[in-house]
């Protein structure tokens, strides 16, 4: 656990970057520092590994005041990832990753093996090991940066806007990768970002800072969105705070209806008796084929002959936001819940999805 | 052209203590020694000043002042101080000539090492000297070598002054030629100095390939 106790940082010139910060960062979780530019996120982060020393107060790492630890020794036990990756241009990828093991004087072969293992862990082709940083894309460099921080298996990882210099698609995949890694490694991670979406996606806990270095609120993402502490936090979360909440709830909970599912071999006469404006036609394996409008069914025959409108599905593991998206996309206003094999298990309307939020 | 051919064709110029090979060796000896001394002074100072940022103004100003020193004047001064017969009159001016480019380039190179890079290095637990020698210096290597190369070429071209104070080197051909009105010797000597300077330049380009990481050069192989 990392504990900030009454920590203040005043720079020469008088800027108070961090003001009387009390904060606990629990072990094994991702704690995100988020807030507008200049609110003291980086300063707070860098005080943990003594890149900056506080003016007042102290920081404990598992009960030990970091000020009592020799900085290089402290830092070798804490992974550190920065925005531009900061890879050493003159060293091959494998040697970049093995930096801290080298500093700790590990056996050369062991350090190398560990580096190769890590490249794989962060989803990089081990074939890149012999390349130099300039031969890698920005996203690949950032992965190497993460691998390098993890090389000596430090329990704590500090990440300062590590993904903000890459394009949105790469950023998403790096975020997913970090979550996957974290589910395996359970590190104590402090992650700095000014992107609230990133904070909500990654954070087990989110610390919102305001300019002047004050902590505005610390809470889990769901609480933060549902119950912002003050106007500043509400403003910072933005207008679409409600929509964002949808991404935190999985769709597995929503109540589905299944009386509008119909097998394609069903006779249209029978179908007309159903009390639903739209019917979802299923093939013989229960996979959806499309929506048929009950009022426009052919005079005779089976449902297989009905004109169909495309459907939009979601998985049980998707977020409520994904389900709502599917419902909004469909002209029927209904989203189709699918099981792992693509079989329809039921449908849900926009109204029911939104109603469920407050239920 | 004829002067040069006469000079090169003369077998007397190719052997003995006054022959070309011997003079080239002497020339390289003064130059090499001067460069070595200059590097021993300028590299540590340039690295330290570049890394810590302390004393930068003094270092750069005095380096530029040293550049403005007239080499020949310095030779005469040192002769007056030390007398003839030692190598000091050649070495001191040559060192004074070589220090500024090495110092300024080393300083600029180390100082210019990317801040993010140093930040990452410090953040991973490197000590000050480790950051300097494992990160800043390798990254600054192209500039450091450029400084060394500039210094070496200037020193080789200027080491002809050794002849003014009765020492050897290729300057002998030039000066003796002037005195005896043997212009083929003067021209030959001058051409040899130029060729030697080019060869030194080439040697540094080759060293560049060995000493600069392909990752810094930005090209592999
Ligand atoms: N070395 C320094 N000297 C003086 N003031 C500084 C220094 N470093 C940061 N500051 C000031 O301290 C405040 C907090 O800076 P900090 O870098 O912690 O902000 P941040 O939240 O990380 O911002 P950003 O999102 O832009 O990275 C800012 O007002 C900044 O100008
Ligand atoms: Mg910052």
Least confident of A56-65, A297-306, B164-173, B182-191: B164-173
Burial class (CB within 10 angstroms; exposed 0-12, middle 13-18, buried 19+) of A272: exposed
Q: What is the pTM of this model?
A: 0.82
**Under 8 Å between Cβ of A106 and A128:** no
| pLDDT of A263 | 94
H-run or E-run covering A17? strand A16-25
- Residues 6+ away with beta carbon under 8 Å from B186: B3, B173, B174, B177, B178
Going A214 to A217 to A221 to A226, the CA torsion angle's sign is negative
Chain A closest CA to B131's CA: distance in Å?
Answer: 11
Hey, what are A167's tokens?
A: 């394009």
Contact A82 B126 (CB under 8 A): no
Instruction: Output the pLDDT for position A358.
Output: 58
Distance CA B132, CA B121 (A): 10
pLDDT of residue A359: 45
CA distance B136 to chain A (A): 10
Half-sphere exposure of B23 toward its Cβ, with a 13 Å CA cutoff? 27
**Share above pLDDT 70 across residues of chain B, in percent, rounded to a whole number:** 99
Percent of chain B clearing pLDDT 90 (strictly above): 57
The minimum CA-CA distance between B127 and chain A, rounded to whole Å, is 6
Going from N- to C-terminal start, the domains of chain B cover: 2-217
Note the ligand closest to the C-alpha atom of A51: 1
Indicate the pLDDT class of residue B221, thresholds 50, 70 and 90: low
Helices (H), B11-163: 20-52, 56-68, 71-82, 88-111, 115-123, 128-130, 137-158
For strand A16-25 and strand A156-160, is the pairing parallel, antiparallel, or unpaired?
unpaired
The best mutation among A4, A7, A10, A11 to test binding of ligand 1, ranked by most ligand atoms within 8 Å of the C-beta, falls on A11
A237: left (phi over 0), alpha (psi -120 to 50) or beta: alpha
Measured in whole angstroms, how far is the alpha carbon of residue A131 from the centre of its chain? 30
| Ligand lying closest to the C-alpha of residue A194 | 1
Is the distance from CB of B94 to CB of B61 less than 8 angstroms?
no
Counting Cβ atoms within 10 Å, is residue B108 exposed (0-12), middle (13-18) or buried (19+)? middle
Q: Which of A4, A39, A46, A207 to mutate to test the pocket of ligand 1 (most atoms within 8 A of CB)?
A: A39
Comma-separated ranges of CATH 3.40.50.300 domains in chain A:
2-248
Nearest to residue A248, comparing CAs of A162, A155, A352, A323? Answer: A323
Which ranges in chain A are annotated with CATH 3.10.580.10?
251-358
CATH superfamily of B2-217: MetI-like (1.10.3720.10)
- Cβ–Cβ contacts within 10 Å for residue A304, how many? 14
* CATH class of the structural domain A2-248: alpha beta
Q: Which two tokens stand for residue A207?
A: 């610390």
Q: How many CA atoms lie within 13 A of A192 on its CB side?
A: 21
Q: Which residues contact A187 (CB under 8 A, 6 or more apart)?
A: A28, A79, A150, A154, A155, A156, A157
The CA-based diameter of chain A, rounded to the nearest angstrom, is: 85
The residue-averaged pLDDT of B97-113 equals: 94
Q: Which residue is closest in CA terms to ligand 1's atom 24? A: A37
Q: Which two tokens stand for residue A78?
A: 């804490």
Residues of chain A with pLDDT below 50 are 359
**CA-CA distances (angstroms) from residue A39 to A184, A209, A211?**
32, 6, 4
Between CA A302 and CA A235 the distance in angstroms is 55
Chain B residues whose CB is inside 8 A of the A147 CB are none
pLDDT in tens, B5-51: 888 888 888 888 889 999 999 999 989 999 999 999 999 999 999 99
Q: What is the pLDDT, as a whole number, of residue A348?
A: 94
Residue of A73, A88, A138 to mutate, interface with B, max B Cβ within 10 Å = A88
Nearest Cα residue to atom 7 of ligand 1: A11
CA of A160 to the centre of ligand 2 (A): 7
Phi, psi of A157 (to 5 degrees): -130, 125
- For residue B16, report the phi and psi dihedrals to the nearest 5 degrees: 80, 175
Chain B residue numbers with beta carbons less than 8 Å from the beta carbon of A90 are 138-139, 141, 213, 215-216
- Identify the architecture of domain A251-358 in CATH: Roll (3.10)
Whether residues B126 and A103 touch (CB distance < 8 A) is answered with yes
Which of B124, B137, B212 to mutate to test binding with chain A, by most A CBs within 10 Å of its CB?
Answer: B124
């Amino acid at each position: 656990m990392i504990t900030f106790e009454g920590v203040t940082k005043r720079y020469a010139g008088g800027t108070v970057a961090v003001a009387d910060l009390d904060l606990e960062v629990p072990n094994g979780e991702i704690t995100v520092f988020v807030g507008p530019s200049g609110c003291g996120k980086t300063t707070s982060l860098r005080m943990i590994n003594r890149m900056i020393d506080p003016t007042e107060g102290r920081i404990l790492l598992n009960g030990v005041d970091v000020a009592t630890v020799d900085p290089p020794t402290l830092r070798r036990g804490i992974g550190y990832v920065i925005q531009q990756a900061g890879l050493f241009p003159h060293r091959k990828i494998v040697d970049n990753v093995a930096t801290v093991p080298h500093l700790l004087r590990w056996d050369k072969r062991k350090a190398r093996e560990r580096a190769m293992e890590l490249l794989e862990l962060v989803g990089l082709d081990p074939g890149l090991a012999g390349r130099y940083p300039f031969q890698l894309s920005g996203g690949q460099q950032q992965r190497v940066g993460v691998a390098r921080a993890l090389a000596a298996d430090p329990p704590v990882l500090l990440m300062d806007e590590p993904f903000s210099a890459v394009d949105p698609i790469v950023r998403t995949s790096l975020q997913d990768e970090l979550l996957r890694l974290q589910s395996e490694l359970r590190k104590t991670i402090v992650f700095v970002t000014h992107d609230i979406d990133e904070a909500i996606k990654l954070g087990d806990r989110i610390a919102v800072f305001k300019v002047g270095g004050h902590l505005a609120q610390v809470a889990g993402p769901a609480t933060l969105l549902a119950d912002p502490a003050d106007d500043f936090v509400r403003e910072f979360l933005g207008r679409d705070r409600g929509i964002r909440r949808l991404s935190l709830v999985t769709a597995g909970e929503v109540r589905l209806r299944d009386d509008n599912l119909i097998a394609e071999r069903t006779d249209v006469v029978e179908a007309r008796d159903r009390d639903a404006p739209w019917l979802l036609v299923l093939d013989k394996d229960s996979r959806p084929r499309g929506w048929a409008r009950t009022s426009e069914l052919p005079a005779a025959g089976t449902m297989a002959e009905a004109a169909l409108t495309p459907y939009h599905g979601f998985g049980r593991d998707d977020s409520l936001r994904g389900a709502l998206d599917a419902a909004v996309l469909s002209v029927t206003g209904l989203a189709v819940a699918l099981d792992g094999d693509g079989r329809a298990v039921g449908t849900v309307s926009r109204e029911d999805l939104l109603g469920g939020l407050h239920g | 052209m004829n002067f040069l051919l006469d000079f090169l064709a003369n077998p007397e110029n190719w052997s003995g203590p006054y022959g070309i090979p011997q003079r080239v060796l002497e020339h390289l000896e003064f130059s090499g020694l001067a460069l070595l001394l200059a590097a021993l002074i300028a590299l540590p100072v340039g690295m330290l000043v570049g890394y810590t940022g302390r004393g930068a103004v003094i270092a750069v100003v005095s380096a530029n002042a040293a550049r403005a020193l007239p080499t020949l004047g310095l030779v005469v001064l040192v002769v007056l101080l030390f007398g003839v017969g030692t190598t000091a009159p050649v070495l001191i001016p040559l060192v004074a000539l070589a220090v500024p480019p090495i110092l300024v380039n080393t300083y600029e190179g180390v100082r210019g090492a990317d801040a993010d890079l140093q930040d990452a290095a410090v953040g991973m637990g490197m000590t000050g000297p480790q950051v300097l020698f494992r990160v800043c210096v390798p990254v600054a290597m192209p500039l450091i070598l450029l400084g060394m190369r500039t210094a070496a070429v200037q020193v080789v071209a200027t080491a002809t002054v050794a002849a003014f104070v009765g020492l050897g080197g290729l300057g002998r051909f030039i000066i003796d030629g002037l005195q005896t009105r043997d212009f083929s010797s003067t021209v030959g000597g001058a051409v040899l100095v130029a060729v030697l300077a080019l060869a030194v330049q080439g040697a540094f380009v080759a060293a560049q390939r060995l000493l600069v990481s392909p990752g810094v050069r930005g090209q592999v192989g």
